Amino acid sequence: MHARIVTSHLLPGRTEEAVDLWRDKVAPAYMGTKGFRGAFLLGDRASGKAVSITLWDSQAAMASTEKSGQFQHAVGLFAQMFVAPPESSRLEVMLQVAGTGPDES
């Protein structure tokens, strides 16, 4: 599995708008893309720092979103919200661990 990590800083007061846009536009577009495995959007509302992590079956599946322009289009949706251009990196997921959380009984 492979991951694309995009780190950005949002203008003050634009965090909720960015979350809504990611949920309503970016996520549905990626859901229909071959090889898409899931995504996380993390952030610090106070500082405006945001990190998007998308997961892909393969490096080829992830790269296909760049070749098709889908990734660039998604980033472009947020252009007016960024303090500076976002940084993007691609990494292999070497280990994944999932838990069920603390036992509440």
**Residues 6+ away with beta carbon under 8 Å from 68:** none
Q: What is the DSSP letter of 68?
A: S
Q: How far is CA 61 from CA 17, 54, 58, 73, in A?
A: 28, 11, 5, 16
Interval 27-45: pLDDT, tens = 999 998 999 999 999 999 9
Structural domain includes residue 101: no
The total of structural domains in the chain comes to: 1
Structural domain includes residue 98: no
Q: What is the pTM of this model?
A: 0.88
Place of tokens 């098709």: 68
Structural domain boundaries, residue 9: 2-92
User: For residue 35, what is the domain's CATH number?
Assistant: 3.30.70.100
Q: Are strands 2-9 and 49-56 parallel, antiparallel or unpaired?
A: antiparallel
pLDDT band at 98 (very low <50, low <70, confident <90, very high): confident
What average pLDDT score do residues 94-100 get?
Answer: 88
Q: What are phi and psi of 55, to 5 degrees?
A: -110, 140
